[in-house]
Structure 1
Amino acid sequence: MKKKVLIGLLGPSLDMGTKSTRWEKWRPSVALCMHEDLAFDRYELLSQKRFSILCDTVVTDIETVSPETQINHHHIEWRDPWNFVEVYSALYEFSRNYDFKEDEEYYINITTGTHVAQICLFLLTESYHFPAQLIQSSPSHKKHKNVAGTYSIIDLDLSQYDKLANRFKAEAIESYELLKSGIKTQDLKFNQLIERIEKVCLRSSAPLLLTGPTGAGKSHLASRIFELRQQKRQLKGNFVEVNCATLRGDAAMSTLFGHKKGSFTGASSDRPGLLKEADGGLLFLDEIGELGLDEQAMLLRALEDKSFLPLGADSLASSDFQLICGTNRELYEAVEEGRFREDLLARINIWNFKLPGLKDRQSDIEPNIDHELQKFAEDSGTLMRFTKEARKNYLDFATSADGEWKGNFRDLNASIHRMATLADSSRIGKELAEDEISQLKHQWNNRNINKEDRILKELFSPDFIEEIDPFDLPQLANVVKTCRESKNLSEAGRKLFCVSRKNKKVPNDADRLRKYLARFELTWQDIYPN
């Protein structure tokens, strides 16, 4: 039969008592040796030197109640019993130096010591630095005095706690579903993205940067992240959202950082600003790439120092907020062009998540249609559904190459809202769905035509454009657009000839592009408008 060995810390408060009356109270280090069904062969008692008198008394009392127990006393020191690093290091060193034997059964007493010490003992036992079971004792709650109290042995084999594990799993799923607004999305990459965001937003308070096309759901996701963090008691303040594209001049500074009365014309009273309003909460700066350089500098200081200077103020204001930024622009290009601060980008780009457009998530279009119908029902009180044929026709279009979804979820929301509003009954029929499909095609086609028209009208006269074949117009507009998004002729050529250049031993992208432009009497310098 294996010998039983108890390892425990002396409890300077709970084990206290030197007079004869000490036998009338429950003292955990002594009490564990008073149970007839739990006889220890050895007790490894850990204590600091400054408690030597108390330790001697406890050792004597253990020998009295359990003379068969051998007691070994170990000095273990730390300056601050609430310093996690100090306490863990001391207990870790003891575990490394102690000679554990295969023929002995070990128990770690986590009843005594500070909460820090108890946590450290738990961690060292869970990691098997102490190859032991945890034991905890407590005083008896019976009316008659029982100084031995009660004890319980804690099994750290978590595989036995299926209900506990399932509960944590259910909480994780709940958080994950919250970020998806309860939509049963099917796109694997998107679901993996949301899982990662869920982990990060609960484990880190560092800024998040949400990128992706307009209408991809950045603002909506930011508000869901706020709700999740609020549920987990990570935030106590408000959710504050602002579109930086709407901020210009003094109004931008005032809106974000506040102002004092009289700091500029029209400042008739003090204004705290949105950063102050977000104190203890979450600030979402959408279209962060549109923020002015002066505001960027102030924002960087507010992030690093939790303080900023309102317009016209003599003293700093403070705000401890969490930050999410959104953009549909390439911020690294903006840095190279001098429109965005590199140090601010480094600060807000700790976590970067790119949200795909709706066209890139075709398997998620159907569940989002159902979600939009449900939203309409909640807002209007009218539950709408498609007829079977109408749903098939609309879904076939929505997931086809014709379904461009240039405005992403904004387009889908508007489309469903139009059909649900115009439906005469609780069903959206085939004719109404076909009318909506036609409207979407016309809407997207007009956007394409208008964009091409604007690009070409900047370069050519109306008479010259009339001499170009309609077949060539969209291609020419795309070439000009690509050139304007590139640093030089070679880069533009690589983008435009990215497929055919693979078959050439010596790619001549710049020369090919130069010859193409010459067909329309264009040079690289002509492409950029004054």
Structure 2
Amino acid sequence: MNRKPTVVLGMLGPTLDTGKTPERWGRWRPSVALCQHEDLLVDRFELLHQRRFEALARTVMEDVRHVSPETLVRGHAVEVDDPWDFEAVYGALHDFARAYPFAPDREDYLVHITTGTHVAQICLFLLTESRYFPARLLQTSPPKREREETAAGSYAIIDLDLSKYDRIASRFQKEQREAVSFLKGGIETRNPGYNRLIERIEHVAIASRAPILLMGPTGAGKSQLARKIYDLKRARRQVSGDFVDLNCATVRGDGAMSALFGHTRGAFTGALKDRPGLLRKAHEGVLFLDEIGELGADEQAMLLRAIEERSFLPVGSDREVKSEFQLLAGTNRDLGLEVAAGRFREDLLARINLWTFRLPGLRDRAEDIEPNLDHELDASARLLGVRITMSRDARARFLGFATSPEAAWPGNFRDFNAAVTRMATLAPGGRIGAAIVEEEIERLSAMWRRAPVAGGGGSDADDLVVEALGERRAAALDLFDRAQLAEVLRVVKGARSLSEAGRVLFSASRARKKSVNDADRLRKYLARFDIDWGALKGG
């Protein structure tokens, strides 16, 4: 295989390369010495210099030709008024790199970083790292007196392509795995889609300070993930301030404005003293606004300005306050639909959905129920101060129920955590048996059956009726029909097929029939309300 020609690009060293008299040959001069190594054949040397050092550049080029006749030496005037002005030096070298006819498929390039000012050396490093110079770095060193070396000294070639360094690459991969595991709370999750999602969130959390929008149903873990993102950024020293959070559904009107933006004394009745507000507390930290879709129009407008301009007016004040924070937002609503309905600002959504991640509910992560069970058992053990275990039969029964269509998990991980906590608390001697599991299954089933009609509406299941029929048609239904349809829609939404949903809904009557067609029976029921299975699952 033919050797590719070696091309060195380097800055003239006005101090290290200096010398006019014959005595210069007794000194180590980096730009000359790099062409004296027997095992480093330099085919072409591109010497960059300022015009005021033209005479020195000519001397160095002549000396290189003398010690290495096979080396073609070319000088390039790179003019910089102040060699210590980083922006000017970088700009000049960047212009040179863009204009130079690199041909990395035919030539091998080395960038000499021993000469030039420290600023020039840094700029050469950065331009090589970013591949404007498609090269490796060349570092030369003078001879050491205590060792017998040639007058050329020594040299080292440094490749900035980290993928070629197995130990460094392994270290980065290990750090990324640790960061992803940290975001997952140390749980060895198995759902491929969820694992890919967390890997992407980890990358964005480290690389960006832009707002992040976490979407997903109630109890999917948005609040816990937001806190983990902050802790990860804090560990990487990307934020120095606090983690400040607010559930926007808990505040309204003046209370919301005051909580977020603060107020001055006397701004409104009851404002007895100044209040800094959460945005100011989040300065140089992270602000997490859960259920951001619950904010009113005035709060949305002020939040938009705070995100865009990093400043806002506290209630009752005419003096702006500055705050640099990263916004994390959570919602279980479709904010696009909220915009269409006029309840959420389109410009605010455009600002916060640069990075949008939708967390799946527990039913969509059946593979992760078992590792989450182990995690919750360990958490209960720490809480109760007793080792918690499950018998084999009890574990199999609970996992079978938890992953079945009968398990609604409307509260997702909140429901799951509560179920495990109850079983652990009731377990004699910390051993969860089959009887305790059966009791918990009955409790959950009864709770979920009551959920659709509790309070006459407003539950997640009841919202499915509105989603399927619209507000007006849903309101026209009798409470009995609405509650029944809500339960049917809940089961259908969680089932993988129409037949599976039918088996759950008609489990009692199908046992008395010789021939069953649960899918057809369910399809006809939905048709009474003009609901199509395919459209329902597609939504």
Q: Measure, in 1, the Cα distance between the counterparts of 2:295 and 2:367.
A: 35
Which of 131, 134, 138 does residue 135 from structure 1 map onto?
A: 138
Match of 1:322 among 321, 326, 338: 326
Amino acid at match of 1:120: L
Contact 2:50 2:78 in 1 (8 A): yes
Equivalent residues in 2 for 1:276-295, closer than 5 Å = 276-295=280-299
Alpha-carbon shift at residue 335 of structure 1 (Å) = 1.8
Q: Equivalent residue of 1:256, what SS?
A: helix
User: Does the CA-based 8 Å contact 1:110-1:118 persist in structure 2?
Assistant: yes
Q: Is 2:115 the partner of 1:94?
A: no
* SS of residue in 1 equivalent to 2:333: coil
Residue from 112, 115, 125 that aligns with 1:118 = 125
Counterpart-to-counterpart distance in 1, 2:15 and 2:399: 70
Aligned-pair RMSD on alpha carbons? 3.6
Q: Does 1:399 align with 2:426?
A: no
- 2:314 aligns with one of 310, 313, 334: 310
Scaled by the length of structure 2, what TM-score is found?
Answer: 0.77
TM-superposition CA deviations, 1:235-281 (whole Å, max 9, x none): 22111111111122222122111222332333333222111111111
Q: Secondary structure at the match of 1:197?
A: helix
Aligned to 1:213: 217
Change (3 A) 1:29 1:395: same
**Which shows bigger deviation, 68-77 or 309-318?**
68-77
In structure 2, the partner of 1:413 is 417
Q: Is the 8 A contact 1:110 1:121 kept in 2?
A: no
Q: 1:86 to 1:315 in 2, by over 3 A?
A: farther
Instruction: Give the structure 1 partner of residue 507 of structure 2.
Output: none
1:300-320 residue CA offsets vs partner (Å, 9 max, x unmatched): 011001111112223211111
Using the TM superposition, give the Cα deviation of residue 185 of structure 1 relative to its aligned residue in structure 2, in angstroms: 1.1
Task: Give the AA of the match of 2:358.
Answer: K
- 1:339-386, CA deviations, whole angstroms, 9 ceiling, x for partnerless residues? 211111111111111111112211111111111111122333322111
Partner of residue 232 from structure 2, selected from 228, 232, 235? 228
Judge conservation of contact 2:9–2:109 (CA < 8 Å) in 1: no
The corresponding residue for 1:82 is 87
Give secondary structure in 2 for the equivalent of 1:185.
Answer: coil
* Unmatched tracts of structure 2, length 5 or more: 466-470, 491-518, 531-539
Cα 1:395–1:152, aligned 2, differ >3 Å: closer, same or farther?
A: same
Change beyond 3 A, Cα 1:155–1:265: closer
With over 3 angstroms needed to count, the CA separation of the structure-2 counterparts of 1:106 and 1:282, relative to structure 1, is: closer
Question: CA-to-partner distance for each residue in 1:119-165, whole Å, 9 max, x for gaps?
Answer: 213444874xx6xx542213456568987442112356766522222
AA of the residue aligned to 2:9: G
User: Against the structure 1 CA distance between its residues 424 and 477, is the aligned structure 2 distance closer, same or farther, given a 3 Å change threshold?
Assistant: closer
Q: Which residue of 2 aligns with 1:15?
A: 16
> Offset at 1:282?
0.9
Identical pairs, percent: 48
CA contact (8 A) 2:140 2:154 kept: yes
Q: Structure 1 residues 480 and 41 mapped into 2: Cα distance closer, same or farther (>3 Å)?
A: closer
Q: Is the 8 A contact 2:258 2:277 kept in 1?
A: yes
Say if 1:389 and 1:430, in contact at 8 Å, map to a contact too: yes
Residue of structure 1 aligned with 2:112, choices 109, 126, 131: 109
Counterpart amino acid of residue 282 in structure 1 = V
* Partners of 1:361 and 1:167 in 2: CA distance: 30
CA shift for structure 1 position 37: 4.6
- Report the residue type matching 1:213 in the other structure: P
Q: 1:141 to 1:334 in 2, by over 3 A?
A: farther
1:114 is paired with a residue whose SS is helix
Amino acid at match of 1:29: S
Q: Deviations over 1:63-100 (max 9, x none)?
A: 5655664432123456765355553232131134x8x8
Partner Cα separation in structure 2 for residue 101 and residue 363 of structure 1: 48
Residue by residue over 1:457-494, the C-alpha shift from the partner in whole angstroms, topping out at 9 and shown as x without a partner, is x99xxxx96xx9x6x5644667999xxxxxxxxxxxxx
Cα distance in 2 for partners of 1:125, 1:294 equals: 48
**What TM-score, normalized to structure 1?**
0.79
Distance change (3 Å), C-alpha of 1:451 and 1:184: farther
The corresponding residue for 1:526 is none
Q: How does 1:181-260 map to 2 (within 5 A)?
A: 181-260=185-264
> How big is each residue's C-alpha offset from its partner over 1:10-66, in whole Å with a ceiling of 9 and x where there is no partner?
245653645768778654323323445545454321223243244234335545655
Q: Residue 336 of structure 1 corresponds to which residue in structure 2?
A: 340
For residue 28 of structure 1, what is the aligned residue in structure 2? Answer: 30
Relative to structure 1, the CA distance from residue 234 to residue 435 in structure 2 (aligned partners, 3 Å threshold; closer, same or farther) is: same
Q: Cα distance 1:327–1:142, how it changes in 2: closer, same or farther (>3 A)? A: farther
Q: Closer, same or farther in 2 for the Cα pair 1:156/1:216, shift >3 Å? A: closer
Q: Residue 167 of structure 1: SS of its match in structure 2?
A: helix
SS where residue 347 of structure 1 aligns? helix
Partner Cα distance (1:140, 1:300) in 2? 62
Other-structure match for 1:489: none
Which residue matches 1:491? none
Equivalent-residue separation in structure 1 for 2:51 and 2:250 (angstroms): 67
CA distance in 2, matches of 1:126, 1:117: 8
Partners of 1:200 and 1:157 lie apart in 2 by 22
Q: Is the 8 A contact 1:77 1:90 kept in 2?
A: no
**Mapped contact 2:265–2:272 kept (Cα < 8 A):** yes
Tell whether the 8 Å contact from 1:215 to 1:407 is kept in structure 2 after alignment.
yes
Q: Among 350, 357, 360, which residue is 1:356 paired with?
A: 360
> After superposition, where does 1:356-395 map in structure 2 within 5 Å?
356-395=360-399
* Counterparts in 2 of 1:387 and 1:31: CA distance versus 1, 3 Å: same
Q: Deviations over 1:92-126 (max 9, x none)?
A: 31134x8x895x76543233333122321344487
Q: Quick check: 4-13 or 404-413, which moved more?
A: 4-13
Letter in 2 for 1:167: R
Give the secondary structure class of the aligned counterpart of 1:82: helix
Question: Given the alignment, which residue of 425, 430, 444 partners 1:426?
Answer: 430
Q: Distance in 2 between matches of 1:153 and 1:479?
A: 69
Which of 339, 349, 359 is 1:345 aligned to? Answer: 349
Q: What secondary structure is seen at the aligned counterpart in 2 of 1:214?
A: coil
Letter matched to residue 114 of structure 1: Q
Kindly provide the amino acid, as one letter, of the partner of residue 343 in structure 2.
R
Matched position secondary structure for 1:435: helix
